[in-house]
Amino acid sequence: MSSFEGPLLLPPSTSTPGAPIRLAVASLGAIGMAVVEAVQSGRLPGFTIAAVSARDIEAARARLAPVAPDVPVVPIAELEPLADIVVECAPAALFGEIVGPFVANGKKAVVLSIGALLTHGDLIELAGRTGGQIIAPSGALLALDAVTAAAEGTIHSIKMITRKPVKGLLGAPYLEENGIDIAAATEPVKVFSGTAREAAKGFPANLNVGAALALAGVGPDATTIEIWADPALTRNTHRIEVDADSASFSMAIENIPSENPKTGRITALSVLAALRKMTAPLRVGT
């Protein structure tokens, strides 16, 4: 259930026709900073960074200074009036606080903490009532185009096997709650096998891709996830295996970590691609 308890069903606010689409970025970690840098460098024509939120406002101002010195850094609660779309790329616990005001006002939210969507169904319903939209880009995963297409028919089974370097999994609540110590692992260790719902709860900062796969396909209780800690790996790898009445496919991605070892570099690029598709005269892929 969402913690958001703000105003409901306000009329959508409109931006001036022809004006750039105003983005709010919450927060300024590996993904947020990469998005800000790309927009500021002109890689995404038609968009502007209107505001950013951060835990440490002064530190964020210092980080922005070389690329976006004029962009205001404000508390999360002040973002919505300043922007048309929010890019949610903060810790999952802040999801409702960030996304709620935008969808309540009929606006779009591009969300990365997709695991949090499994407990914020109310915000999806709210967006349905206000005309807002929650957009979950492919992020660090691949093949969601084929999974959504297959889900229009019947998917018999869907599974993801994730293998990460040890530092891509350290600190996950599931490991701590179950006394699983991977810090000294010298060979691959299977640390989890279960549903996407259980994986999202146990690995909230490490496995948003499992929730994305579940939401694209057959839901969090029918999607199976296996997680391995592999000390020999340098990349976060995800392999998905789908058996459907339209096709069978298996695909894998090897993500080069960003400055945050839990997060693949491709994730921020996926946000840019999703934003670009919103206004592009040609859209490729579902």
Ligand X SMILES: O=C([O-])CC(=O)C(=O)O
**Contact range with ligand X by CB under 6 A, out of 32-40, 102-110, 242-250, 263-271:** 263-271
Binds ligand NDP by CB under 6 A, chosen from 105, 162, 237, 263: 263
Out of 107, 238, 262, 265, the active site residue is 238
Binds ligand X by CB under 6 A, chosen from 208, 223, 224, 270: 208
**Contact range with ligand NDP by CB under 6 A, out of 155-163, 205-213, 240-248, 273-281:** 205-213
Euclidean distance between CA atoms 74 and 110, whole angstroms: 19
Which residues, numbered 137-156, are part of the site for ligand X (CB under 6 A)?
140
Q: What's the min distance (Å) between Cβ of 92 and ligand X?
A: 9
Residue 238 designated active-site: yes
Which class for 242: exposed (0-12), middle (13-18), buried (19 or more C-beta within 10 A)? buried
Q: What's the min distance (Å) between Cβ of 170 and ligand X?
A: 14
> Which partner, ligand NDP, ligand X, none, binds residue 105 by CB below 5 to 8 Å per kind?
none
| Residue ranges that bind ligand NDP, judged by CB under 6 A | 27-32, 53-56, 89-92, 94, 112-114, 139-141, 205, 208-209, 212, 260, 263, 267
Annotated binding site for NAD(+): 140, 208
